[in-house]
Amino acid sequence: MAQFLIFAAKTNKMRILFTLFVLLTFQSFGQDAKAQAILDKLSTKIKSQKSFYVEFSANIKNAASGTNESETGKGWVKGDKYYASYGENTIISNGIKTWTIVKEDKSVYETDANEDDGESMNPKKLMTIWESGFKNKYEKEDKLNNEAVHVINLYPKNAGKVQYHTITLYISKATNELKKAIMKSKDGTVMTYSLTKFTSNAPVEDTKFVFDMKKYPGYTLVKD
Protein backbone atom coordinates (compact mmCIF):
# COMPACT_ATOMS: atom_id res chain seq x y z
CA MET A 1 0.00 0.00 0.00
CA ALA A 2 1.21 3.50 -0.69
CA GLN A 3 2.76 5.57 2.07
CA PHE A 4 0.47 6.63 4.86
CA LEU A 5 -0.66 10.14 5.54
CA ILE A 6 1.85 11.91 7.81
CA PHE A 7 -0.31 11.91 10.88
CA ALA A 8 -1.55 8.36 10.29
CA ALA A 9 1.67 7.05 11.78
CA LYS A 10 1.12 8.99 14.99
CA THR A 11 -1.05 6.29 16.57
CA ASN A 12 -1.75 2.66 15.81
CA LYS A 13 -5.45 3.40 15.40
CA MET A 14 -4.84 6.07 12.78
CA ARG A 15 -2.32 3.89 11.00
CA ILE A 16 -4.79 1.04 10.60
CA LEU A 17 -7.70 3.26 9.56
CA PHE A 18 -5.87 5.13 6.85
CA THR A 19 -4.44 1.90 5.45
CA LEU A 20 -7.98 1.24 4.28
CA PHE A 21 -8.42 4.68 2.76
CA VAL A 22 -5.29 4.99 0.62
CA LEU A 23 -4.83 3.49 -2.83
CA LEU A 24 -2.19 1.28 -4.41
CA THR A 25 -0.44 2.52 -7.51
CA PHE A 26 -0.59 -0.56 -9.72
CA GLN A 27 -2.91 -1.53 -12.59
CA SER A 28 -5.76 -3.86 -11.63
CA PHE A 29 -5.93 -7.35 -13.09
CA GLY A 30 -7.78 -10.66 -12.91
CA GLN A 31 -11.14 -9.05 -12.23
CA ASP A 32 -14.43 -10.87 -11.66
CA ALA A 33 -16.81 -9.73 -14.43
CA LYS A 34 -19.88 -9.41 -12.19
CA ALA A 35 -17.98 -7.65 -9.42
CA GLN A 36 -16.24 -5.33 -11.88
CA ALA A 37 -19.53 -4.29 -13.47
CA ILE A 38 -20.97 -3.33 -10.07
CA LEU A 39 -17.83 -1.44 -9.06
CA ASP A 40 -17.62 0.38 -12.39
CA LYS A 41 -21.23 1.50 -11.97
CA LEU A 42 -20.49 2.80 -8.48
CA SER A 43 -17.36 4.63 -9.67
CA THR A 44 -19.36 6.30 -12.44
CA LYS A 45 -21.98 7.43 -9.94
CA ILE A 46 -19.40 8.95 -7.57
CA LYS A 47 -17.52 10.73 -10.34
CA SER A 48 -20.72 12.20 -11.78
CA GLN A 49 -21.38 14.14 -8.59
CA LYS A 50 -20.62 17.85 -8.68
CA SER A 51 -20.23 17.59 -4.92
CA PHE A 52 -21.13 15.19 -2.13
CA TYR A 53 -21.09 14.83 1.63
CA VAL A 54 -20.38 11.65 3.61
CA GLU A 55 -20.47 10.59 7.24
CA PHE A 56 -18.94 7.33 8.46
CA SER A 57 -18.04 5.37 11.54
CA ALA A 58 -15.03 3.11 12.03
CA ASN A 59 -14.31 0.36 14.51
CA ILE A 60 -10.97 -1.36 15.04
CA LYS A 61 -10.73 -4.70 16.84
CA ASN A 62 -7.83 -7.02 17.62
CA ALA A 63 -8.57 -9.89 20.00
CA ALA A 64 -4.90 -10.58 20.72
CA SER A 65 -4.12 -7.03 21.86
CA GLY A 66 -7.54 -6.32 23.33
CA THR A 67 -8.05 -3.38 20.98
CA ASN A 68 -11.64 -2.25 20.46
CA GLU A 69 -11.82 1.40 19.40
CA SER A 70 -14.39 3.43 17.50
CA GLU A 71 -14.35 6.84 15.83
CA THR A 72 -16.50 8.87 13.46
CA GLY A 73 -15.64 10.99 10.45
CA LYS A 74 -17.14 13.13 7.73
CA GLY A 75 -16.12 14.71 4.46
CA TRP A 76 -17.14 17.19 1.78
CA VAL A 77 -16.01 16.91 -1.84
CA LYS A 78 -16.34 19.44 -4.67
CA GLY A 79 -14.34 18.70 -7.79
CA ASP A 80 -10.69 18.34 -6.77
CA LYS A 81 -11.31 20.06 -3.42
CA TYR A 82 -12.15 18.28 -0.20
CA TYR A 83 -12.47 18.73 3.54
CA ALA A 84 -12.35 15.67 5.76
CA SER A 85 -12.17 14.96 9.47
CA TYR A 86 -11.57 11.83 11.50
CA GLY A 87 -11.82 12.14 15.24
CA GLU A 88 -9.91 15.29 16.13
CA ASN A 89 -7.82 15.41 12.95
CA THR A 90 -8.69 17.40 9.84
CA ILE A 91 -7.55 17.52 6.20
CA ILE A 92 -8.27 20.47 3.90
CA SER A 93 -7.39 20.51 0.21
CA ASN A 94 -8.06 23.29 -2.30
CA GLY A 95 -6.87 21.12 -5.18
CA ILE A 96 -3.45 22.80 -5.18
CA LYS A 97 -2.30 22.42 -1.60
CA THR A 98 -3.34 20.00 1.14
CA TRP A 99 -3.17 20.76 4.86
CA THR A 100 -3.30 18.02 7.50
CA ILE A 101 -4.15 19.39 10.95
CA VAL A 102 -3.08 17.10 13.81
CA LYS A 103 -4.56 18.28 17.09
CA GLU A 104 -2.51 15.91 19.25
CA ASP A 105 0.76 17.40 17.99
CA LYS A 106 -0.58 20.92 17.41
CA SER A 107 0.95 20.70 13.95
CA VAL A 108 -0.20 21.46 10.40
CA TYR A 109 1.47 19.58 7.54
CA GLU A 110 1.33 21.27 4.13
CA THR A 111 1.95 19.35 0.90
CA ASP A 112 1.26 19.78 -2.79
CA ALA A 113 -2.11 18.24 -3.58
CA ASN A 114 -0.74 16.16 -6.45
CA GLU A 115 1.98 14.71 -4.21
CA ASP A 116 -0.47 13.97 -1.43
CA ASP A 117 -3.06 12.64 -3.85
CA GLY A 118 -2.41 8.95 -3.34
CA GLU A 119 -1.81 9.09 0.40
CA SER A 120 -4.47 11.21 2.04
CA MET A 121 -7.95 10.53 3.27
CA ASN A 122 -9.54 12.07 0.21
CA PRO A 123 -13.26 11.17 0.54
CA LYS A 124 -13.58 10.81 -3.23
CA LYS A 125 -10.84 8.19 -3.26
CA LEU A 126 -12.26 6.60 -0.16
CA MET A 127 -15.42 6.00 -2.19
CA THR A 128 -13.50 4.52 -5.15
CA ILE A 129 -10.77 2.55 -3.37
CA TRP A 130 -11.26 -0.47 -5.64
CA GLU A 131 -10.21 1.27 -8.85
CA SER A 132 -6.56 0.21 -8.84
CA GLY A 133 -4.27 -2.28 -7.16
CA PHE A 134 -6.83 -4.98 -6.44
CA LYS A 135 -8.24 -8.20 -7.78
CA ASN A 136 -11.95 -8.50 -7.05
CA LYS A 137 -14.42 -11.34 -6.60
CA TYR A 138 -18.20 -11.34 -6.27
CA GLU A 139 -19.00 -13.38 -3.16
CA LYS A 140 -22.77 -13.30 -2.72
CA GLU A 141 -25.92 -11.29 -2.26
CA ASP A 142 -26.73 -10.68 1.40
CA LYS A 143 -28.73 -8.51 3.80
CA LEU A 144 -27.30 -5.56 5.74
CA ASN A 145 -29.69 -3.82 8.12
CA ASN A 146 -32.56 -5.42 6.18
CA GLU A 147 -31.23 -4.01 2.89
CA ALA A 148 -30.15 -6.22 -0.02
CA VAL A 149 -26.44 -5.78 -0.74
CA HIS A 150 -23.77 -7.14 -3.05
CA VAL A 151 -20.78 -8.57 -1.17
CA ILE A 152 -17.49 -8.18 -3.05
CA ASN A 153 -14.00 -9.07 -1.87
CA LEU A 154 -10.89 -7.12 -2.85
CA TYR A 155 -7.46 -8.76 -2.74
CA PRO A 156 -4.24 -6.70 -3.07
CA LYS A 157 -2.28 -7.92 -6.04
CA ASN A 158 1.02 -7.03 -4.35
CA ALA A 159 0.14 -8.76 -1.08
CA GLY A 160 3.73 -8.88 0.19
CA LYS A 161 3.90 -5.10 0.45
CA VAL A 162 0.74 -4.48 2.48
CA GLN A 163 -0.36 -5.27 6.03
CA TYR A 164 -3.77 -6.70 5.16
CA HIS A 165 -5.07 -9.56 3.03
CA THR A 166 -8.75 -8.81 2.27
CA ILE A 167 -11.18 -5.90 2.02
CA THR A 168 -14.86 -6.82 1.85
CA LEU A 169 -17.30 -4.32 0.36
CA TYR A 170 -21.06 -4.18 0.92
CA ILE A 171 -22.86 -2.29 -1.86
CA SER A 172 -26.59 -1.54 -1.86
CA LYS A 173 -28.51 -3.18 -4.70
CA ALA A 174 -31.24 -0.55 -4.57
CA THR A 175 -29.19 2.66 -4.37
CA ASN A 176 -25.85 1.46 -5.76
CA GLU A 177 -24.00 3.00 -2.79
CA LEU A 178 -21.14 1.70 -0.67
CA LYS A 179 -22.58 0.82 2.75
CA LYS A 180 -19.75 -0.92 4.57
CA ALA A 181 -16.15 -2.05 4.12
CA ILE A 182 -14.22 -4.49 6.32
CA MET A 183 -10.44 -4.76 6.20
CA LYS A 184 -8.75 -7.86 7.60
CA SER A 185 -5.10 -7.41 8.50
CA LYS A 186 -2.43 -10.08 8.68
CA ASP A 187 -1.98 -9.48 12.41
CA GLY A 188 -5.62 -10.28 13.16
CA THR A 189 -6.84 -6.69 13.26
CA VAL A 190 -10.29 -6.14 11.76
CA MET A 191 -11.32 -2.61 10.81
CA THR A 192 -14.97 -2.00 9.96
CA TYR A 193 -15.94 1.16 8.12
CA SER A 194 -19.68 1.96 7.84
CA LEU A 195 -21.13 4.71 5.71
CA THR A 196 -23.86 6.34 7.77
CA LYS A 197 -24.81 9.17 5.40
CA PHE A 198 -24.27 10.07 1.75
CA THR A 199 -25.69 13.24 0.20
CA SER A 200 -25.39 13.69 -3.57
CA ASN A 201 -24.62 17.16 -4.94
CA ALA A 202 -24.58 18.57 -1.42
CA PRO A 203 -24.36 22.38 -1.38
CA VAL A 204 -20.96 23.50 -0.12
CA GLU A 205 -19.23 26.86 -0.42
CA ASP A 206 -15.68 27.10 -1.76
CA THR A 207 -14.70 28.75 1.53
CA LYS A 208 -14.95 25.28 3.11
CA PHE A 209 -11.73 24.36 1.31
CA VAL A 210 -9.75 27.47 2.29
CA PHE A 211 -7.07 26.92 4.94
CA ASP A 212 -6.48 29.78 7.38
CA MET A 213 -3.52 29.39 9.75
CA LYS A 214 -5.04 32.06 12.00
CA LYS A 215 -7.65 29.52 13.07
CA TYR A 216 -4.91 27.37 14.61
CA PRO A 217 -3.05 29.55 17.12
CA GLY A 218 -0.09 27.80 18.72
CA TYR A 219 0.18 25.25 15.90
CA THR A 220 3.42 24.67 13.97
CA LEU A 221 3.25 24.76 10.17
CA VAL A 222 5.44 22.12 8.52
CA LYS A 223 5.87 22.42 4.75
CA ASP A 224 6.93 19.43 2.70
State pLDDT tens for residues 28-41: 344 689 999 999 99
129 belongs to a structural domain: yes
185 belongs to a structural domain: yes
State pLDDT tens for residues 90-144: 999 999 999 999 999 999 999 998 764 444 466 777 777 788 788 999 999 999 9
| CB of 98 closer than 8 Å to CB of 121 | no
211 belongs to a structural domain: no
Q: How confident is the model at residue 166 (pLDDT cuts 50, 70, 90)?
A: very high
| CB of 60 closer than 8 Å to CB of 191 | yes
Q: Is the pLDDT score of 9 beyond 50?
A: no
52 belongs to a structural domain: yes
Q: Is the pLDDT score of 19 beyond 80?
A: no
Secondary structure in 3-state letters for the chain: CCCCCHHHHHCHHHHHHHHHHCCCCCCCCCCCHHHHHHHHHHHHHHHCCCEEEEEEEEEEEECCCCEEEEEEEEEEEECCEEEEEECCEEEEECCCEEEEEECCCCEEEEEEHHHHCCCCCCHHHHCCHHHCCEEEEEEEEEEECCEEEEEEEEEECCHHHCCEEEEEEEEECCCCCEEEEEEEECCCCEEEEEEEEEEECCCCCHHHHCCCHHHCCCCEEEEC
The pLDDT of residue 58: 85
Q: What residues make up the domain containing 195?
A: 24-199
127 alpha-carbon distance from chain centroid? 7
8 belongs to a structural domain: no
115 belongs to a structural domain: yes
40 belongs to a structural domain: yes
The pLDDT of residue 182: 92
The pLDDT of residue 8: 41
Q: Is the pLDDT score of 3 beyond 50?
A: no
Q: Is the pLDDT score of 69 beyond 80?
A: yes
41 belongs to a structural domain: yes
For the chain, the domain total comes to: 1
The pLDDT of residue 79: 87
Domain with residue 73: its CATH number is 2.50.20.10
State pLDDT tens for residues 134-150: 899 999 999 999 999 99
Dihedral sign computed on CA atoms, order 157, 4, 12, 101: negative
The pLDDT of residue 157: 85
| CB of 35 closer than 8 Å to CB of 136 | yes
The pLDDT of residue 31: 64
Rounded to the nearest integer, the mean pLDDT of the chain is 82
What does each C-alpha distance from 149 to 12, 72, 140, 171, 179 come to in angstroms? 31, 23, 9, 5, 8
pTM (2 d.p.)? 0.74
